[in-house]
Amino acid sequence: MTNTLTRIREAFAEAGVTGRLHALDIDSGAEIDIGGDHPVVSASVHKLCLLLALYEHAAAGRLDLTEQVECPPANRIAGPTGLSAMLDPVRMSLRDAAYLMMAVSDNTAADLLLERIGLDAVNDTTARLGMARTHATQTFRQLLDTIREDAGPGGAQALADPHVIARLRALDPGRTNHSTPRDMTRLLSAVWRDEACAPEHGAAIRRLLGLQVWPHRMASGFPFDDVHVAGKTGSLPTVRNEVGVIEYPDGGRYAVAVFTRAANTAATLPRADAVIGTTARLAVDSLRAP
Protein backbone atom coordinates (compact mmCIF):
# COMPACT_ATOMS: atom_id res chain seq x y z
CA MET A 1 0.00 0.00 0.00
CA THR A 2 2.76 2.47 0.94
CA ASN A 3 4.50 1.81 -2.37
CA THR A 4 1.26 2.50 -4.27
CA LEU A 5 0.73 5.81 -2.49
CA THR A 6 4.30 6.83 -3.27
CA ARG A 7 3.94 5.93 -6.95
CA ILE A 8 0.68 7.89 -7.23
CA ARG A 9 2.22 10.96 -5.60
CA GLU A 10 5.24 10.70 -7.90
CA ALA A 11 2.98 10.43 -10.95
CA PHE A 12 1.12 13.61 -9.96
CA ALA A 13 4.42 15.44 -9.40
CA GLU A 14 5.88 14.30 -12.73
CA ALA A 15 2.75 15.53 -14.53
CA GLY A 16 3.06 18.95 -12.88
CA VAL A 17 -0.19 18.76 -10.94
CA THR A 18 -1.45 18.68 -7.38
CA GLY A 19 -3.67 15.64 -7.13
CA ARG A 20 -6.32 14.32 -4.75
CA LEU A 21 -7.55 10.75 -5.17
CA HIS A 22 -9.92 8.31 -3.56
CA ALA A 23 -10.45 4.80 -4.88
CA LEU A 24 -12.92 2.31 -3.44
CA ASP A 25 -13.57 -1.37 -4.02
CA ILE A 26 -17.36 -1.17 -4.25
CA ASP A 27 -17.87 -4.68 -2.89
CA SER A 28 -15.16 -5.08 -0.23
CA GLY A 29 -14.87 -1.48 0.96
CA ALA A 30 -11.07 -1.47 0.59
CA GLU A 31 -9.76 1.97 -0.34
CA ILE A 32 -6.82 4.04 -1.53
CA ASP A 33 -6.77 7.57 -0.15
CA ILE A 34 -4.60 10.54 -1.10
CA GLY A 35 -6.33 13.68 0.09
CA GLY A 36 -9.71 12.00 -0.16
CA ASP A 37 -11.34 14.43 2.26
CA HIS A 38 -9.72 17.57 0.85
CA PRO A 39 -12.23 20.13 -0.55
CA VAL A 40 -12.00 20.34 -4.34
CA VAL A 41 -13.62 22.32 -7.13
CA SER A 42 -16.05 19.89 -8.72
CA ALA A 43 -16.58 21.73 -12.04
CA SER A 44 -18.62 19.54 -14.42
CA VAL A 45 -18.24 16.51 -12.16
CA HIS A 46 -21.13 18.10 -10.25
CA LYS A 47 -23.40 17.19 -13.17
CA LEU A 48 -23.44 13.67 -11.75
CA CYS A 49 -25.14 15.03 -8.62
CA LEU A 50 -27.63 16.87 -10.82
CA LEU A 51 -28.32 13.70 -12.81
CA LEU A 52 -29.13 11.74 -9.68
CA ALA A 53 -31.41 14.52 -8.41
CA LEU A 54 -33.25 14.51 -11.73
CA TYR A 55 -33.95 10.79 -11.46
CA GLU A 56 -35.04 11.20 -7.84
CA HIS A 57 -37.63 13.74 -9.01
CA ALA A 58 -38.81 11.30 -11.66
CA ALA A 59 -39.13 8.50 -9.11
CA ALA A 60 -41.19 10.76 -6.84
CA GLY A 61 -43.54 11.66 -9.70
CA ARG A 62 -42.51 15.32 -9.72
CA LEU A 63 -41.56 15.14 -13.39
CA ASP A 64 -41.71 12.86 -16.41
CA LEU A 65 -38.33 12.19 -18.02
CA THR A 66 -39.97 12.34 -21.46
CA GLU A 67 -41.26 15.86 -20.73
CA GLN A 68 -40.26 18.21 -23.56
CA VAL A 69 -38.22 21.40 -23.03
CA GLU A 70 -37.55 24.24 -25.46
CA CYS A 71 -34.09 25.67 -25.97
CA PRO A 72 -33.99 28.70 -28.30
CA PRO A 73 -30.52 29.91 -29.36
CA ALA A 74 -30.76 33.09 -27.27
CA ASN A 75 -30.86 31.13 -24.00
CA ARG A 76 -27.73 29.06 -24.54
CA ILE A 77 -24.44 29.21 -22.69
CA ALA A 78 -21.41 29.73 -24.92
CA GLY A 79 -19.47 26.53 -25.39
CA PRO A 80 -18.03 24.00 -27.84
CA THR A 81 -20.37 21.05 -27.28
CA GLY A 82 -23.98 20.01 -27.51
CA LEU A 83 -26.72 22.63 -27.45
CA SER A 84 -24.18 25.40 -26.93
CA ALA A 85 -22.71 24.75 -30.38
CA MET A 86 -26.05 24.43 -32.19
CA LEU A 87 -27.54 27.29 -34.22
CA ASP A 88 -31.25 26.53 -34.42
CA PRO A 89 -34.12 26.13 -31.92
CA VAL A 90 -34.15 22.73 -30.21
CA ARG A 91 -36.95 20.81 -28.51
CA MET A 92 -36.04 17.67 -26.59
CA SER A 93 -36.94 15.52 -23.61
CA LEU A 94 -35.44 15.95 -20.15
CA ARG A 95 -33.73 12.58 -20.44
CA ASP A 96 -32.13 13.53 -23.76
CA ALA A 97 -30.87 16.76 -22.19
CA ALA A 98 -29.40 14.58 -19.44
CA TYR A 99 -27.65 12.49 -22.10
CA LEU A 100 -26.01 15.61 -23.60
CA MET A 101 -25.04 16.84 -20.15
CA MET A 102 -23.21 13.61 -19.36
CA ALA A 103 -21.89 12.45 -22.74
CA VAL A 104 -20.39 15.75 -23.93
CA SER A 105 -20.63 17.83 -20.72
CA ASP A 106 -23.16 20.21 -22.27
CA ASN A 107 -23.52 23.21 -19.92
CA THR A 108 -26.68 24.45 -21.61
CA ALA A 109 -28.36 21.07 -21.16
CA ALA A 110 -27.30 21.03 -17.51
CA ASP A 111 -28.85 24.42 -16.86
CA LEU A 112 -32.07 23.37 -18.60
CA LEU A 113 -32.33 20.61 -16.02
CA LEU A 114 -31.45 22.95 -13.18
CA GLU A 115 -34.22 25.30 -14.30
CA ARG A 116 -36.60 22.37 -13.95
CA ILE A 117 -35.54 21.04 -10.52
CA GLY A 118 -33.41 23.77 -8.86
CA LEU A 119 -30.13 23.81 -6.96
CA ASP A 120 -31.83 22.93 -3.68
CA ALA A 121 -32.90 19.58 -5.13
CA VAL A 122 -29.28 18.78 -6.00
CA ASN A 123 -28.17 19.62 -2.47
CA ASP A 124 -31.00 17.59 -0.97
CA THR A 125 -29.80 14.58 -2.97
CA THR A 126 -26.18 14.83 -1.88
CA ALA A 127 -27.22 15.41 1.74
CA ARG A 128 -29.40 12.30 1.65
CA LEU A 129 -26.42 10.26 0.50
CA GLY A 130 -24.29 11.54 3.39
CA MET A 131 -22.08 13.69 1.15
CA ALA A 132 -21.56 16.30 3.85
CA ARG A 133 -18.74 18.11 2.05
CA THR A 134 -20.51 18.42 -1.30
CA HIS A 135 -22.55 21.50 -2.19
CA ALA A 136 -23.88 23.18 -5.34
CA THR A 137 -23.86 26.96 -5.02
CA GLN A 138 -24.43 28.10 -8.60
CA THR A 139 -25.67 27.15 -12.05
CA PHE A 140 -23.15 26.49 -14.80
CA ARG A 141 -24.01 29.83 -16.43
CA GLN A 142 -23.28 31.58 -13.15
CA LEU A 143 -20.00 29.69 -12.77
CA LEU A 144 -18.82 30.70 -16.23
CA ASP A 145 -19.99 34.28 -15.64
CA THR A 146 -17.66 34.54 -12.63
CA ILE A 147 -14.73 33.45 -14.80
CA ARG A 148 -15.51 36.16 -17.36
CA GLU A 149 -15.89 38.77 -14.65
CA ASP A 150 -12.71 37.76 -12.83
CA ALA A 151 -10.66 37.52 -16.05
CA GLY A 152 -11.47 41.16 -16.77
CA PRO A 153 -11.03 42.97 -20.08
CA GLY A 154 -8.31 40.56 -21.21
CA GLY A 155 -10.94 37.90 -21.83
CA ALA A 156 -9.96 34.29 -22.41
CA GLN A 157 -6.37 35.26 -23.23
CA ALA A 158 -5.96 36.56 -19.69
CA LEU A 159 -6.43 33.03 -18.35
CA ALA A 160 -2.82 32.28 -19.31
CA ASP A 161 -1.72 34.74 -16.61
CA PRO A 162 -1.09 33.06 -13.22
CA HIS A 163 -2.14 36.27 -11.44
CA VAL A 164 -5.53 36.13 -13.15
CA ILE A 165 -5.87 32.42 -12.37
CA ALA A 166 -5.19 33.15 -8.70
CA ARG A 167 -8.22 35.45 -8.44
CA LEU A 168 -10.80 33.20 -10.12
CA ARG A 169 -13.66 32.45 -7.75
CA ALA A 170 -14.40 29.38 -9.85
CA LEU A 171 -11.16 27.80 -8.59
CA ASP A 172 -11.90 28.36 -4.90
CA PRO A 173 -13.89 25.48 -3.36
CA GLY A 174 -15.28 27.92 -0.82
CA ARG A 175 -16.94 30.03 -3.54
CA THR A 176 -18.12 27.57 -6.15
CA ASN A 177 -19.59 24.07 -6.51
CA HIS A 178 -17.41 21.75 -4.48
CA SER A 179 -16.98 18.23 -3.19
CA THR A 180 -14.31 15.78 -2.03
CA PRO A 181 -12.94 12.67 -3.74
CA ARG A 182 -14.41 10.47 -0.98
CA ASP A 183 -17.87 12.01 -1.36
CA MET A 184 -17.83 11.27 -5.08
CA THR A 185 -16.81 7.63 -4.65
CA ARG A 186 -19.59 7.36 -2.06
CA LEU A 187 -22.08 8.55 -4.69
CA LEU A 188 -20.72 6.23 -7.37
CA SER A 189 -20.74 3.24 -5.05
CA ALA A 190 -24.35 3.97 -4.08
CA VAL A 191 -25.37 4.12 -7.76
CA TRP A 192 -23.59 0.88 -8.63
CA ARG A 193 -25.02 -0.91 -5.58
CA ASP A 194 -28.56 0.34 -6.38
CA GLU A 195 -28.66 2.14 -3.04
CA ALA A 196 -28.92 5.67 -4.43
CA CYS A 197 -32.21 5.18 -6.27
CA ALA A 198 -34.54 2.54 -7.71
CA PRO A 199 -32.71 -0.15 -9.72
CA GLU A 200 -34.22 0.91 -13.04
CA HIS A 201 -33.07 4.49 -12.49
CA GLY A 202 -29.66 3.31 -11.32
CA ALA A 203 -29.32 1.35 -14.56
CA ALA A 204 -30.23 4.48 -16.56
CA ILE A 205 -27.61 6.55 -14.72
CA ARG A 206 -24.94 3.89 -15.23
CA ARG A 207 -25.81 3.80 -18.93
CA LEU A 208 -25.37 7.56 -19.30
CA LEU A 209 -22.03 7.52 -17.50
CA GLY A 210 -20.92 4.80 -19.89
CA LEU A 211 -21.71 7.02 -22.89
CA GLN A 212 -19.20 9.75 -22.05
CA VAL A 213 -17.12 10.43 -25.16
CA TRP A 214 -13.83 11.54 -23.60
CA PRO A 215 -11.19 8.76 -23.59
CA HIS A 216 -8.13 10.83 -22.65
CA ARG A 217 -8.38 10.87 -18.85
CA MET A 218 -9.52 7.95 -16.68
CA ALA A 219 -10.24 5.57 -19.56
CA SER A 220 -6.67 6.00 -20.86
CA GLY A 221 -5.44 3.96 -17.90
CA PHE A 222 -7.56 0.93 -18.84
CA PRO A 223 -6.99 0.18 -22.56
CA PHE A 224 -8.66 -3.22 -22.53
CA ASP A 225 -11.67 -4.35 -24.52
CA ASP A 226 -13.09 -6.30 -21.59
CA VAL A 227 -12.71 -3.54 -18.95
CA HIS A 228 -15.51 -1.00 -18.87
CA VAL A 229 -15.00 2.60 -17.69
CA ALA A 230 -17.99 4.83 -16.98
CA GLY A 231 -17.34 8.35 -15.75
CA LYS A 232 -17.75 12.11 -15.75
CA THR A 233 -15.03 14.66 -16.37
CA GLY A 234 -14.78 18.21 -15.10
CA SER A 235 -12.59 21.00 -16.48
CA LEU A 236 -11.80 24.62 -15.65
CA PRO A 237 -8.63 26.68 -16.12
CA THR A 238 -5.82 24.57 -14.54
CA VAL A 239 -8.43 22.05 -13.27
CA ARG A 240 -8.79 18.55 -14.71
CA ASN A 241 -11.02 16.07 -12.88
CA GLU A 242 -12.73 12.77 -13.47
CA VAL A 243 -14.79 10.39 -11.37
CA GLY A 244 -15.87 6.99 -12.57
CA VAL A 245 -16.30 3.28 -12.06
CA ILE A 246 -14.02 0.65 -13.59
CA GLU A 247 -15.59 -2.78 -14.06
CA TYR A 248 -13.54 -5.92 -14.74
CA PRO A 249 -14.80 -9.12 -16.39
CA ASP A 250 -14.30 -11.04 -13.13
CA GLY A 251 -16.91 -8.83 -11.45
CA GLY A 252 -14.55 -6.41 -9.75
CA ARG A 253 -16.00 -2.88 -9.45
CA TYR A 254 -13.95 0.12 -8.39
CA ALA A 255 -15.10 3.70 -7.86
CA VAL A 256 -12.33 6.23 -8.43
CA ALA A 257 -12.29 10.01 -8.06
CA VAL A 258 -9.29 12.07 -9.21
CA PHE A 259 -9.14 15.85 -8.91
CA THR A 260 -6.11 17.82 -10.14
CA ARG A 261 -4.77 21.37 -10.38
CA ALA A 262 -1.93 22.15 -12.78
CA ALA A 263 0.82 24.68 -12.15
CA ASN A 264 0.95 25.40 -15.89
CA THR A 265 -1.90 27.60 -17.15
CA ALA A 266 -1.88 26.16 -20.69
CA ALA A 267 -5.28 24.94 -21.89
CA THR A 268 -3.75 21.80 -23.42
CA LEU A 269 -1.61 19.65 -21.13
CA PRO A 270 -1.69 16.01 -22.27
CA ARG A 271 0.37 14.80 -19.31
CA ALA A 272 -2.06 16.40 -16.86
CA ASP A 273 -4.96 14.62 -18.58
CA ALA A 274 -3.15 11.28 -18.79
CA VAL A 275 -2.10 11.23 -15.14
CA ILE A 276 -5.75 10.81 -14.17
CA GLY A 277 -5.74 7.46 -15.99
CA THR A 278 -2.29 6.56 -14.68
CA THR A 279 -3.15 7.15 -11.03
CA ALA A 280 -6.56 5.51 -11.33
CA ARG A 281 -4.87 2.41 -12.74
CA LEU A 282 -2.26 2.38 -9.96
CA ALA A 283 -5.02 2.59 -7.37
CA VAL A 284 -7.19 -0.10 -8.93
CA ASP A 285 -4.23 -2.44 -9.46
CA SER A 286 -3.44 -2.10 -5.76
CA LEU A 287 -7.04 -2.82 -4.77
CA ARG A 288 -7.03 -5.90 -7.01
CA ALA A 289 -3.71 -7.24 -5.71
CA PRO A 290 -3.88 -10.47 -3.67
> The domain that contains 52 carries what CATH number?
3.40.710.10
Q: How far is CA 290 from CA 134, 161, 174, 253, in A?
A: 33, 47, 40, 15
Distance CA(146)–CA(217), nearest Å, equals 26
Q: Quick check: 290 pLDDT over 90?
A: no
Structural domain including 78 reads 2-288
Residue from 142, 198, 208, 207 nearest 175 by CA: 142
220-247: pLDDT as tens digits: 999 999 999 999 999 999 999 999 999 9
Q: Quick check: 269 pLDDT over 90?
A: yes
Which residues lie closer than 8 Å to 278 by C-beta, 6 or more apart? Answer: 11, 15, 220, 221
136-192: pLDDT as tens digits: 999 999 999 999 999 999 888 999 999 999 999 999 999 999 999 999 999 999 999
Residues above pLDDT 70, as percent of the chain: 100
What is the model's pLDDT at position 181? 98
What is the model's pLDDT at position 79? 82
2-52: pLDDT as tens digits: 799 999 999 999 999 999 999 999 999 999 999 999 999 999 999 999 999
Mean pLDDT throughout 49-57? 98
pTM > 0.95: yes
Distance CA(192)–CA(269), nearest Å, equals 31
Number of domains in the chain: 1
Q: Confidence class of residue 75 from pLDDT cuts 50, 70 and 90?
A: confident
Residue from 72, 17, 25, 2 nearest 185 by CA: 25
Residue from 207, 253, 206, 250 nearest 226 by CA: 250
What is the model's pLDDT at position 257? 98
Residue from 234, 258, 288, 289 nearest 35 by CA: 258
Mean pLDDT throughout 96-110? 97
Distance CA(175)–CA(157), nearest Å, equals 23
105-143: pLDDT as tens digits: 999 999 999 999 999 999 999 999 999 999 999 999 999
Helix (H) or strand (E) holding 25: strand 17-25
Q: How far is CA 216 from CA 20, 193, 212, 278, in A?
A: 18, 27, 11, 11
